[in-house]
Amino acid sequence: MTEIAVLPLPNRAMQIIMAVVHGVRSHALLHALALLVYLAAGLQALWLGVGVNLALVAMISEATMLFLGSSVFIWLAAEAARLWWTGYQGSPVLALKDKLLDDILAPGRIANTVNFLVANGVFFVGFLAIKKAIPLTIPFSWDVSFMKLDRALGFGYLPHEILAPLFQYPIATLAINLLYNFWFLILMGFLFWQGFSRNETALRQKFLVSYFLTWFLGTLILGTLLSSAGPCYYGFVVAGENPYLPLMNYLRATNEIYPIWAIPTQDALWQNHLVGYGDVEGVSAMPSMHVASTILLFQLTFAAGKRRLGWVMVAFSASIFLGSILLGWHYAVDGLAGAAVALACWLIAGKIVGWDRRRRGVA
């Protein structure tokens, strides 16, 4: 999208409006996926006779806007520091104003951001409603199978038992939980990078389409068909011996020494599952979307030519996979399935985006 110099307010406002409207076409795939999930959620809600709780959507939206505003502030602060460091002789106020209007709030960037945020909001309204209803649609029935498959992959041992000698120490568990929680900020950073991008590139489109597809095919399709609660809830959904009780007892004991945020979050999530509402909802283990999303992130970094960052993200993805097991959130097969879904969606998105851009005559 071609940018022009900053115009007087009325003309600039019209330019932004036209850019946003024009951007609807380039974001048509995202809007279509969002509407598909939203309509599916509405039909499912009618079928099950349940309502839609938007509390988590509001919480995520508020966090997104806070992150967006903070990022713009940091961007301007970094530009001010650059001007100072390079000995800029002009007015720093005017320079920052030009940076804000010509770059940060350029019509093309605003158009891309608005279209992405609208599609993302509509998508996750539907997504969260469907995710919450997974155990109502298909009751948890795969936990025993996934436990047995994990044990088979470990030649008789469960993955957390194999990893325990290396990682089952309170300070190590704290570090793992910190990294696991850091996933949200990392994900938001990458979404800011691509969602707030000034240019509508094939790579940006591929990443955002693969992002939506991964959540859709991963949780809403695979997660529903293979409905499972996860190791931390194994004792609540499976009668008899609980092979994950020692792990959960260790995590609870460690939580008395260091804050292990997984424990209160798991407790709140299960309680909200029982009562049917709450700020944190939706029990579903298969597949691990923490792992799936980080797979997309390192695919993006390598495709963007940022190889060093790519290898950092590979390491981060590996830490998320380990954390999902050691914190009791997921079976190992959940992480492997998440990785497979993400890789498949990355390839599928590439084909779809290529077709869409050829249809629109865009290079």
pLDDT tens for each residue of 199-215 = 888 999 999 999 999 99
2 is a domain residue? no
**Whether the predicted pLDDT of 226 surpasses 70:** yes
- 134 within 8 A of 282, measured Cβ to Cβ: yes
Give the C-alpha separation, 219 to 335, whole Å: 12
101 is a domain residue? yes
258 is a domain residue? yes
- 255 within 8 A of 263, measured Cβ to Cβ: yes
pTM for the whole thing?
A: 0.86
**Whether the predicted pLDDT of 75 surpasses 70:** yes
- Total domains present in the chain: 1
Calculate the CA 194 to chain-centre distance: 13
Q: Which element (helix H / strand E) includes 76?
A: helix 55-85
Residue whose entry in the numeric block shows the structure tokens 């350029």: 106
45 is a domain residue? yes
In this structure, what are the phi and psi dihedrals at residue 29, rounded to the nearest 5 degrees? -65, -40
Identify the pLDDT of residue 3. Answer: 45
4 is a domain residue? no
66 is a domain residue? yes
**% of the chain with per-residue pLDDT over 70:** 92
What six digits make up the tokens of 252? 């609870």
What six digits make up the tokens of 36? 């598909």
Give the C-alpha separation, 290 to 182, whole Å: 11
Residue whose entry in the numeric block shows the structure tokens 């190992």: 332
pLDDT tens for each residue of 154-169 = 999 999 999 999 999 9
3 is a domain residue? no
CA–CA distance from 94 to each of 73, 101, 330 (Å)? 16, 10, 52
- 348 within 8 A of 213, measured Cβ to Cβ: yes
Residue type, 224: T
Burial of 344 (0-12, 13-18, 19+ CB in 10 A): middle
User: Which residues neighbour 219 within 8 Å (Cβ) at sequence distance 6 or greater?
Assistant: 127, 130, 131, 134, 284, 287, 289
Angle between the N-to-C axes of helices 55-85 and 107-132, in degrees from 0 to 180, rounded to the nearest 10: 150
Angle between the N-to-C axes of helices 92-99 and 55-85, in degrees from 0 to 180, rounded to the nearest 10: 140
Burial of 349 (0-12, 13-18, 19+ CB in 10 A): buried
Domain that holds residue 152: 9-360
What six digits make up the tokens of 351? 């084909």
Mean pLDDT of the chain: 87
pLDDT, mean of residues 301-323: 94
Give the C-alpha separation, 93 to 336, whole Å: 51
The answer to whether the Cα torsion of 24, 32, 41, 215 is positive or negative is negative
pLDDT tens for each residue of 229-271 = 999 999 999 988 999 999 999 999 999 999 999 999 999 989 8
168 is a domain residue? yes
